[in-house]
Structure 1
Amino acid sequence: MINNRYWLIILMTCLTSCSKVSVPDFEQAELLPAGGMTGKGLSDRSFVQVGRNVDRKQELLFWTGFSLFRDPWVIAPSSTKDRDGLGPLFNTRSCISCHSSGGKGPAPEEGNSIPSALVIRFGSAEDKLFSDPIYGDQLQPRAIAITHNSIQPDLLGEAKLQLDYQAVYGEYADGTTYILRQPTYHLTDLAYGDLDKRTVLSPRFSPVIYGVGLLDAISVQDLLAQEDINDDNQDGISAKYNRVPIAPSGHNTADFHNSVENFEGTIRLSVGRFGHKAKHPSLHQQVAAAFRDDIGITNTSFVSESCSTEQPNCQAASVIGGHQSVEIPDKLLDLVTQFNQLIAVPPARNLDSATAQQGRELFYKIGCESCHTASYKTDAEYPLKSLANQTIWPYTDLALHNMGAGLADGVNEYDADGQEWRTPPLWGIGARKNMRSENLYLHDGRAKTVAEAILWHGGEAHISHQKFIQLNQQQRNALLAFLDAI
């Protein structure tokens, strides 16, 4: 084991090297973090607004897509043909229930509950393609209410979640104390039998959706230019991009930017950029997967219901709805995708203040930018021209990084291992604090503040974490003021 004296020597060396870090000059463009797709103003009620680049025709499509995003789906068959097909097993009835006002959903409840915005994925430490034999890839805690002779026994939600927190106490170098929340997860009231012995729970709290179209518009070449799996530059950071399947789709541009890296048998693989472990290569595929996995709505990318062979009552319920093919056609799925593409990013707030500028300098000097890459220019050839050729400031490399044992879920997902997570974007992070149930951070929402989220950083981020610990209170406040402003 490395002793404390050794770590102190490393830390003092790193702190000394801070003064040698090159901090780029501040640009006025940073005040508009999404370029022409920056929102026209701020709201304490909703992130749902179109970017400045969006023309009237696109805006009409945006609001049409928003109606499909907002309104609850219902049981089929019904008179509401554009919104029926819910379940049979599902997590929630609408997109907005997990992404309230375009941000995050309601905070998970401590104790025994049925969650919505906190999704429980199933995986394993050994198999990157593992699904629980009974419960599949994801917990579906709700079920449609249906009376039919073929549905025996009654259709039930799969389980409830027991969520508990344990306090973790710590102290900054200046003596200021802090308390973190260490969560534990356990399923109760399992309706279809025990989980497989190999099954591991992976909690995933819903992310914000503003700016995702611009992340989709970054060229795959610009992302791969940052890959450094073996840390060849010896900076302690080993950016890695997940290689994930491209799902079949009737959408013409779903694979844009995601040029195929290789083949695995007959499966086309590409660079993942969406999801907490970068499971999906395109925004369209992410939206399609959410429809099937969260609401139980089949589509041309994911044509099968999420019922296992061990859930015959679910399978029986899935065939009585009257749909002859998938439950959401491509034309409607595309509208929801375009809504996600065109939602604006909040403008920066007080970013040119002296305090925020001091925090900006510290952000670079303590190494945050090593994973939270500040800026890109989106691809000039991206099909949706309002998103093309934009200078953006999302503060993410969209790569996988080892975040240490404290944040590990122990689940492999394609090339992501049990300690790796995709770097989340930071733009607009300060604008979330005025939204209901928005003030939660990290992949499972355990952190109530940005400072708590930083304090959980380990693995590749350990040195930056230690540098943050060494800052005095005025410096910490400045760094947090910068993050609040971007």
Structure 2
Amino acid sequence: MTIKRNYRLKMRIIIGVVLIVGAALYKVAGSFGDTPQFSVSELKPGGEATRKVLSKRTFVYPADNVPIMSQLDFWDGFSFFRDPWVASPAITKDRDGLGPLFNARSCKTCHVDGGRGKPPKHGEIAPPALLFRFLNINSYMADSRYGGQLQPLNVRLSHPNLNGPLKGEGQVRVFYEQIIGKYTDGTEYTLRKPRYQFDNYHYGQMDSDSRLSARYAPAVYGMGLLDAIKAEDLLVQEDIDDRDGDGVSGKYNVVVDAIDQTRQIGRFGFKGLHSTLEQQVAGAFVHDIGITNPIFEKEQCLPHQVRCQQAADVDPHGTLDIPKKLHDLTVFMSQTIAVPPARDLTSKQAMQGRKLFYQIGCNRCHTPSYITDPDYSIAAIAGQKIWPYTDLALHDMGEGLADEGIENSATGAEWRTPPLWGIGLQKRVQGFAAYLHDGRARTLEEAILWHGGEAKSQQNSFINLTMTEREALLHFINQI
């Protein structure tokens, strides 16, 4: 028995060492100053799921390798993403169920053309694309008056079951403070720091230990490919205690899967709160639009929101607002949106920028490439060499980007690394651009300058570059 115990102990130690060394080697493969040879596969960031022709109008196209018959399912799913939902009861049974409280009438409202929605200007009321979560400064819990997410809009109903008009929960007005800084070469830059003012408290003051946290809706292309990355290929990058001493200590939020109740790593959402794309879509349906679905079956009315509950009871169908068949079509569409192709990557300027990307160490969090799970449920996105430039992990981004609250194991300063593929196309396709989790950055340059915490070294390196070098790095990021 003693021999067996010692053997097990030795094996645990050996396995632990292997994991630590494996993680270190994984990071060394793309470590500081190590620029890998250019691969022609970088021109197709979504592998064979990359769209061949670059659109100037929209990001919403099925991946080119999705079979024709499945593309029909894609466009059916897109109709539930695009078209506005209406309040129950309505003649249009497949599209009623809006609210009673909600943030937007359709997915497309926030994800315009599959990209991001229009951000607010100084002094404006936040548009639907900028939603707000209520976080607690002491623990992971919702606000007692408003729940986990602000619902500013409400359905308008005249029905005998209602004892008065239903009201949205309130509105947030956005203000920006200007911050002036300088590069080492003397060039000035200006950053915007947002401030939020909660107006029209229709259900009383929020809790004293609650705080508003902004979320600017992300682009949705390529989400299925991120869903198809194996968990072990992500976890090998986790280095919570920074054992390799490179200053980067990414971790993954651990969340309870809403379908099977198992504990999984969170890879979707700005804090990594959803483990799968299916759950992310279902969460957006119920929280943003008020559409009950096979994963989240209950309306989000709180006990004291009596008229919200009364309005929810008006629905004569007595079923889910979107049944499983239609929900699955919407998920399929979200899984198979094509990634736009890379552009001018082989130019001299882009190659210089690519070298700086690795030399500065941007790849420490923005992991360039993966091979998706060959056994993933959708053949078109299984076994693909992809270039998303993200580790999908949480990183401390510093005080400048921090909010005040906890989400599972994510602290206020920790944010999930966003993918960079196609990021330079936003203004070209949509006519406007904004970046980071709250849309404060008007340019990619500003987004880099907001990096702090674990990315402080990269921010300092960027500030110390010459203007020509900065332009080269930004050109590379704009082309991937």
Q: Is the 8 A contact 2:32 2:361 kept in 1?
A: no
1:184 Cα offset (Å)? 0.4
1:53 Cα offset (Å)? 1.1
1:248 Cα offset (Å)? 2.4
1:115 Cα offset (Å)? 2.2
Relative distance call for 1:71 and 1:248 in structure 2 (3 A) is same
* 2: CA distance, partners of 1:375 / 1:218: 10
- Give the letter aligned to residue 442 of structure 1: L
Q: Report the equivalent of 2:347.
A: 353
Aligned match of 1:400 in 387, 394, 397?
A: 394
* 2: CA distance, partners of 1:351 / 1:410: 39
- Kindly indicate whether residue 137 of structure 2 is the aligned counterpart of residue 143 of structure 1: no
Aligned match of 1:274 in 261, 268, 272?
A: 268
- Give the letter aligned to residue 163 of structure 1: V
- Give the letter aligned to residue 350 of structure 1: D
* 2: CA distance, partners of 1:466 / 1:445: 22
Aligned match of 2:465 in 451, 464, 471?
A: 471
- Give runs of aligned pairs for residues 36-435 of structure 1, distance below 5 A: 36-128=48-140, 130-248=141-259, 267-435=261-429
* 2: CA distance, partners of 1:114 / 1:185: 9
Please list the CA deviations of residues 61-106 of structure 1 after superposition, one character each: whole Å capped at 9, or x if unmatched: 1111011110000111111111110000000000001000000012
* 1: CA distance, partners of 2:359 / 2:175: 36
* 2: CA distance, partners of 1:368 / 1:393: 14
Q: Which moved more, 1:160-169 or 1:433-442?
A: 433-442
Give the secondary structure class of the aligned counterpart of 2:109: coil
Please list the CA deviations of residues 329-372 of structure 1 after superposition, one character each: whole Å capped at 9, or x if unmatched: 11111101111111101101111001000000000000100000
Of all paired residues, the percent bearing the same amino acid is 51
Task: Give the aligned length.
Answer: 451
* 2: CA distance, partners of 1:380 / 1:327: 34
- Give the letter aligned to residue 80 of structure 1: T
1:398 Cα offset (Å)? 0.1
Q: Is the 8 A contact 2:31 2:361 kept in 1?
A: no
* 2: CA distance, partners of 1:379 / 1:19: 25
* 2: CA distance, partners of 1:386 / 1:346: 15
Please list the CA deviations of residues 201-232 of structure 1 after superposition, one character each: whole Å capped at 9, or x if unmatched: 01000000000000000000100011000001
* 2: CA distance, partners of 1:485 / 1:109: 27
- Give the letter aligned to residue 242 of structure 1: N
Give the secondary structure class of the aligned counterpart of 2:108: coil
1:467 Cα offset (Å)? 0.2
Q: Which moved more, 1:391-400 or 1:329-338?
A: 329-338
1:114 Cα offset (Å)? 5.0
* 1: CA distance, partners of 2:411 / 2:352: 36
Q: Is the 8 A contact 1:226 1:397 kept in 2?
A: yes
- Give the letter aligned to residue 309 of structure 1: P
Q: Is the 8 A contact 2:58 2:430 kept in 1?
A: no
* 2: CA distance, partners of 1:438 / 1:27: 31
Q: Is the 8 A contact 2:31 2:364 kept in 1?
A: no
- Give the letter aligned to residue 459 of structure 1: G
Q: Is the 8 A contact 1:205 1:445 kept in 2?
A: yes
Q: Is the 8 A contact 1:231 1:237 kept in 2?
A: yes
1:134 Cα offset (Å)? 1.4
* 1: CA distance, partners of 2:161 / 2:245: 62
Give the secondary structure class of the aligned counterpart of 2:110: coil
User: Could you state the TM-score of these two structures normalised by the residue count of structure 1?
Assistant: 0.91
1:42 Cα offset (Å)? 1.1
Q: Is the 8 A contact 1:110 1:164 kept in 2?
A: yes
Aligned match of 2:475 in 464, 473, 481?
A: 481
- Give the letter aligned to residue 446 of structure 1: R
Q: Report the equivalent of 2:37.
A: 25
Q: Report the equivalent of 2:7.
A: none
5+ residue gaps, structure 2, are 1-29
- Give the letter aligned to residue 174 of structure 2: L
Give the secondary structure class of the aligned counterpart of 1:303: coil
1:41 Cα offset (Å)? 1.1
5+ residue gaps, structure 1, are 1-17, 250-266
Please list the CA deviations of residues 228-250 of structure 1 after superposition, one character each: whole Å capped at 9, or x if unmatched: 0000111000010000110027x
* 1: CA distance, partners of 2:167 / 2:456: 44
